[in-house]
Amino acid sequence: LAKTTQPISMDSYEGQEVNITCSHNNIATNDYITWYQQFPSQGPRFIIQGYKTKVTNEVASLFIPADRKSSTLSLPRVSLSDTAVYYCLVGDQLTGGGNKLTFGTGTQLKVEL
Amino acid sequence: NAGVTQTPKFQVLKTGQSMTLQCAQDMNHNSMYWYRQDPGMGLRLIYYSASEGTTDKGEVPNGYNVSRLNKREFSLRLESAAPSQTSVYFCAGSDRRDEKLFFGSGTQLSVL
Protein backbone atom coordinates (compact mmCIF):
# COMPACT_ATOMS: atom_id res chain seq x y z
CA LEU A 1 0.00 0.00 0.00
CA ALA A 2 1.21 3.44 -0.85
CA LYS A 3 1.68 5.34 2.40
CA THR A 4 2.79 8.88 3.10
CA THR A 5 4.79 10.44 5.93
CA GLN A 6 4.80 14.17 6.69
CA PRO A 7 5.92 16.36 9.58
CA ILE A 8 3.15 16.79 12.14
CA SER A 9 3.48 20.56 12.33
CA MET A 10 5.42 23.56 11.03
CA ASP A 11 5.56 27.20 12.07
CA SER A 12 6.32 30.17 9.86
CA TYR A 13 5.96 33.93 9.61
CA GLU A 14 4.13 36.00 7.07
CA GLY A 15 6.08 36.62 3.88
CA GLN A 16 8.31 33.57 4.23
CA GLU A 17 8.50 30.61 1.88
CA VAL A 18 7.33 27.33 3.39
CA ASN A 19 8.40 23.91 2.17
CA ILE A 20 6.55 20.80 3.34
CA THR A 21 8.07 17.46 2.41
CA CYS A 22 6.19 14.19 2.10
CA SER A 23 7.81 10.78 1.75
CA HIS A 24 6.10 8.02 -0.20
CA ASN A 25 8.58 5.19 -0.60
CA ASN A 26 6.12 2.71 -2.10
CA ILE A 27 4.75 4.92 -4.84
CA ALA A 28 3.64 2.98 -7.93
CA THR A 29 4.61 3.78 -11.48
CA ASN A 30 1.25 5.25 -12.46
CA ASP A 31 0.53 7.16 -9.23
CA TYR A 32 0.09 10.89 -9.17
CA ILE A 33 1.08 12.94 -6.10
CA THR A 34 -1.63 15.32 -4.95
CA TRP A 35 -1.67 17.92 -2.17
CA TYR A 36 -4.71 19.22 -0.33
CA GLN A 37 -5.37 22.06 2.08
CA GLN A 38 -7.93 21.85 4.86
CA PHE A 39 -9.32 24.63 7.01
CA PRO A 40 -11.27 23.89 10.21
CA SER A 41 -14.85 22.71 9.60
CA GLN A 42 -14.29 22.34 5.86
CA GLY A 43 -13.48 19.48 3.53
CA PRO A 44 -9.99 19.33 2.04
CA ARG A 45 -9.41 21.42 -1.06
CA PHE A 46 -7.15 20.50 -3.98
CA ILE A 47 -3.96 22.58 -4.21
CA ILE A 48 -1.64 20.98 -6.74
CA GLN A 49 -0.86 17.69 -8.43
CA GLY A 50 2.19 16.31 -10.17
CA TYR A 51 3.80 13.19 -11.54
CA LYS A 52 7.47 14.11 -11.83
CA THR A 53 9.89 17.08 -11.85
CA LYS A 54 8.25 20.41 -11.06
CA VAL A 55 4.73 21.72 -11.28
CA THR A 56 3.70 25.29 -10.55
CA ASN A 57 0.31 26.96 -10.34
CA GLU A 58 -0.97 30.25 -8.98
CA VAL A 59 -0.78 29.17 -5.33
CA ALA A 60 2.09 26.66 -4.98
CA SER A 61 4.90 24.67 -6.53
CA LEU A 62 5.46 20.96 -6.28
CA PHE A 63 8.93 19.45 -6.56
CA ILE A 64 9.32 15.73 -7.25
CA PRO A 65 12.78 14.12 -7.54
CA ALA A 66 13.58 11.54 -10.17
CA ASP A 67 12.99 8.55 -7.89
CA ARG A 68 9.54 9.96 -6.89
CA LYS A 69 9.92 8.63 -3.35
CA SER A 70 9.26 12.06 -1.90
CA SER A 71 7.72 15.37 -2.88
CA THR A 72 7.91 18.92 -1.56
CA LEU A 73 5.08 21.42 -1.53
CA SER A 74 6.38 24.98 -1.68
CA LEU A 75 4.19 27.89 -0.61
CA PRO A 76 5.75 31.25 -1.54
CA ARG A 77 5.30 34.24 0.76
CA VAL A 78 2.76 32.72 3.13
CA SER A 79 0.12 34.82 4.87
CA LEU A 80 -2.02 34.26 7.94
CA SER A 81 -4.73 32.78 5.73
CA ASP A 82 -2.41 29.90 4.79
CA THR A 83 -2.71 28.53 8.33
CA ALA A 84 -4.25 25.13 7.67
CA VAL A 85 -3.54 21.40 7.54
CA TYR A 86 -1.79 20.19 4.40
CA TYR A 87 -2.06 16.61 3.18
CA CYS A 88 -0.20 14.76 0.48
CA LEU A 89 -1.88 11.82 -1.19
CA VAL A 90 -0.54 9.13 -3.42
CA GLY A 91 -2.91 6.93 -5.37
CA ASP A 92 -3.19 3.28 -4.43
CA GLN A 93 -4.27 1.70 -7.65
CA LEU A 94 -6.81 -1.08 -7.68
CA THR A 95 -6.64 -4.06 -9.99
CA GLY A 96 -10.04 -3.31 -11.48
CA GLY A 97 -9.36 0.39 -11.91
CA GLY A 98 -9.79 3.39 -9.67
CA ASN A 99 -7.80 4.20 -6.59
CA LYS A 100 -8.07 3.73 -2.86
CA LEU A 101 -7.12 7.22 -1.73
CA THR A 102 -5.93 7.22 1.87
CA PHE A 103 -4.91 10.33 3.79
CA GLY A 104 -1.93 10.48 6.09
CA THR A 105 -1.78 12.54 9.26
CA GLY A 106 -1.14 15.83 7.45
CA THR A 107 1.01 18.81 8.44
CA GLN A 108 -0.47 21.59 10.55
CA LEU A 109 1.03 24.84 9.25
CA LYS A 110 0.77 27.83 11.55
CA VAL A 111 1.63 31.24 10.13
CA GLU A 112 2.22 34.14 12.49
CA LEU A 113 2.77 37.86 12.05
CA ASN B 1 -23.29 22.87 -11.00
CA ALA B 2 -23.45 21.93 -7.30
CA GLY B 3 -20.37 19.67 -7.14
CA VAL B 4 -20.59 17.19 -4.25
CA THR B 5 -23.65 17.61 -2.02
CA GLN B 6 -24.05 15.97 1.37
CA THR B 7 -27.18 15.78 3.48
CA PRO B 8 -27.84 16.37 6.28
CA LYS B 9 -25.28 18.92 7.51
CA PHE B 10 -25.90 18.15 11.16
CA GLN B 11 -27.43 15.17 12.93
CA VAL B 12 -27.82 14.04 16.51
CA LEU B 13 -28.62 10.39 17.19
CA LYS B 14 -29.17 8.29 20.25
CA THR B 15 -27.12 5.15 20.71
CA GLY B 16 -28.68 2.31 18.72
CA GLN B 17 -30.52 4.50 16.22
CA SER B 18 -29.91 4.09 12.52
CA MET B 19 -29.53 6.65 9.79
CA THR B 20 -28.28 7.14 6.25
CA LEU B 21 -25.97 9.91 5.12
CA GLN B 22 -26.62 10.94 1.56
CA CYS B 23 -24.08 12.06 -1.02
CA ALA B 24 -24.69 13.10 -4.60
CA GLN B 25 -22.33 14.50 -7.22
CA ASP B 26 -22.96 16.10 -10.58
CA MET B 27 -19.31 16.05 -11.73
CA ASN B 28 -19.55 12.70 -13.54
CA HIS B 29 -17.04 11.12 -11.18
CA ASN B 30 -16.40 7.42 -11.50
CA SER B 31 -15.08 6.97 -7.97
CA MET B 32 -16.68 8.07 -4.72
CA TYR B 33 -15.46 7.92 -1.14
CA TRP B 34 -16.65 8.24 2.44
CA TYR B 35 -14.22 9.55 5.08
CA ARG B 36 -14.59 10.35 8.74
CA GLN B 37 -12.61 12.94 10.65
CA ASP B 38 -12.45 12.97 14.41
CA PRO B 39 -11.53 16.19 16.24
CA GLY B 40 -7.88 17.12 15.69
CA MET B 41 -7.27 14.05 13.53
CA GLY B 42 -6.74 13.31 9.88
CA LEU B 43 -9.29 11.79 7.53
CA ARG B 44 -9.82 8.06 7.61
CA LEU B 45 -11.34 6.16 4.71
CA ILE B 46 -14.49 4.22 5.60
CA TYR B 47 -15.64 2.86 2.24
CA TYR B 48 -15.09 3.68 -1.38
CA SER B 49 -16.61 2.88 -4.72
CA ALA B 50 -14.19 2.69 -7.62
CA SER B 51 -17.03 2.63 -10.13
CA GLU B 52 -20.79 2.30 -10.33
CA GLY B 53 -21.85 -1.06 -8.98
CA THR B 54 -18.73 -1.70 -6.89
CA THR B 55 -17.91 -0.90 -3.28
CA ASP B 56 -15.05 -1.87 -1.01
CA LYS B 57 -13.84 -1.40 2.53
CA GLY B 58 -11.40 1.28 3.56
CA GLU B 59 -9.47 1.63 6.80
CA VAL B 60 -12.37 1.80 9.26
CA PRO B 61 -15.47 0.06 7.80
CA ASN B 62 -16.84 -1.56 10.95
CA GLY B 63 -20.31 -0.31 11.87
CA TYR B 64 -21.04 1.10 8.41
CA ASN B 65 -22.57 -0.01 5.15
CA VAL B 66 -22.65 1.75 1.81
CA SER B 67 -24.68 1.74 -1.37
CA ARG B 68 -23.61 3.05 -4.75
CA LEU B 69 -27.12 3.60 -6.01
CA ASN B 70 -26.03 4.92 -9.39
CA LYS B 71 -23.11 6.90 -10.73
CA ARG B 72 -24.25 10.07 -8.96
CA GLU B 73 -25.17 8.79 -5.51
CA PHE B 74 -23.20 7.05 -2.76
CA SER B 75 -24.85 6.65 0.64
CA LEU B 76 -23.41 5.68 4.01
CA ARG B 77 -25.57 3.86 6.55
CA LEU B 78 -25.11 3.46 10.27
CA GLU B 79 -27.27 0.51 11.32
CA SER B 80 -26.85 0.93 15.08
CA ALA B 81 -25.10 4.15 15.98
CA ALA B 82 -22.50 4.18 18.75
CA PRO B 83 -20.85 7.14 20.54
CA SER B 84 -17.55 6.15 18.90
CA GLN B 85 -19.10 7.12 15.57
CA THR B 86 -19.38 10.77 16.62
CA SER B 87 -17.38 12.50 13.93
CA VAL B 88 -17.51 14.68 10.85
CA TYR B 89 -18.23 12.67 7.72
CA PHE B 90 -17.01 13.76 4.31
CA CYS B 91 -18.02 12.41 0.95
CA ALA B 92 -15.75 12.89 -2.04
CA GLY B 93 -15.65 12.06 -5.71
CA SER B 94 -12.81 11.71 -8.15
CA ASP B 95 -12.16 11.13 -11.78
CA ARG B 96 -10.23 7.89 -12.19
CA ARG B 97 -7.94 9.55 -14.67
CA ASP B 98 -6.36 12.16 -12.43
CA GLU B 99 -7.53 11.14 -8.95
CA LYS B 100 -8.27 14.69 -7.82
CA LEU B 101 -10.72 14.54 -4.95
CA PHE B 102 -13.63 16.95 -4.66
CA PHE B 103 -15.23 17.04 -1.24
CA GLY B 104 -18.67 17.83 0.06
CA SER B 105 -19.11 20.23 2.96
CA GLY B 106 -19.42 17.46 5.52
CA THR B 107 -21.97 16.06 7.96
CA GLN B 108 -21.40 16.66 11.65
CA LEU B 109 -22.78 13.63 13.49
CA SER B 110 -23.14 13.32 17.25
CA VAL B 111 -24.18 10.06 18.87
CA LEU B 112 -25.32 10.41 22.46
Give residue A98's pLDDT: 57
Locate the chain A residue with the closest alpha carbon to B48. A100
Cβ contact, residue pair B50, A96, below 8 Å: yes
Confidence of residue A109 (pLDDT cuts 50, 70, 90): very high
- Taking 60 as the threshold, does the pLDDT of residue A96 lie above it? no
Of the segments A1-10, A12-21, A85-94, B87-96, which one has the largest average pLDDT value?
A12-21
Q: What is the pLDDT of residue B95?
A: 79
User: Given this model, what pLDDT does residue A26 score?
Assistant: 86
B106 CB neighbours in chain A (<8 A) are: 41-43
| Interstrand relation of B107-111 and B10-13 (parallel, antiparallel or unpaired) | parallel
pLDDT of A1 > 70? The answer is no
Q: What is the pLDDT of residue A99?
A: 63
- Give A-chain residues touching B94 at CB under 8 angstroms: 99, 101
Contact residues on chain B for A45, CB-CB shorter than 8 A: 103
- For A16-75, how does the pLDDT look when each residue is reduced to its tens digit (9 = 90+)? 999 999 999 988 888 889 999 999 889 999 999 999 999 999 999 999 999 999 999 999
pLDDT value, residue A94: 56
CB-CB neighbours of B55 under 10 Å: 17
- CB-CB contact of B75 with B22 (8 Å): yes
Asked if B43 has any chain A CB less than 8 Å from its own CB, the reply is: yes
Question: How far apart are the C-alpha atoms of A69 and A71, rounded to whole Å?
Answer: 7
* Range list of β-strands (E), chain A: 9-13, 18-23, 33-38, 45-50, 53-56, 61-64, 70-75, 84-90, 107-112
Separation of alpha carbons A113 and A101, rounded Å: 35
User: What's the confidence (pLDDT) of residue B103?
Assistant: 95
- The partner residue sitting opposite B42, judged by closest CB among A34, A45, A106, is A106
Cα A68-A9-A25 angle, rounded to 5 deg: 20
pLDDT of residue B112: 96
- In this prediction, residue A71 carries a pLDDT of 96
Q: 3-state DSSP call for residue B52?
A: coil
Cβ within 8 Å of residue B39, ≥6 positions away: none
> Which pLDDT value is given to residue A49?
92
Q: What is the pLDDT of residue A103?
A: 82
pLDDT < 50: residue spans in chain B: none
Calculate the dihedral angle through the C-alpha atoms of A43, A24, A18, A107, rounding to the nearest 10 degrees.
Answer: 40
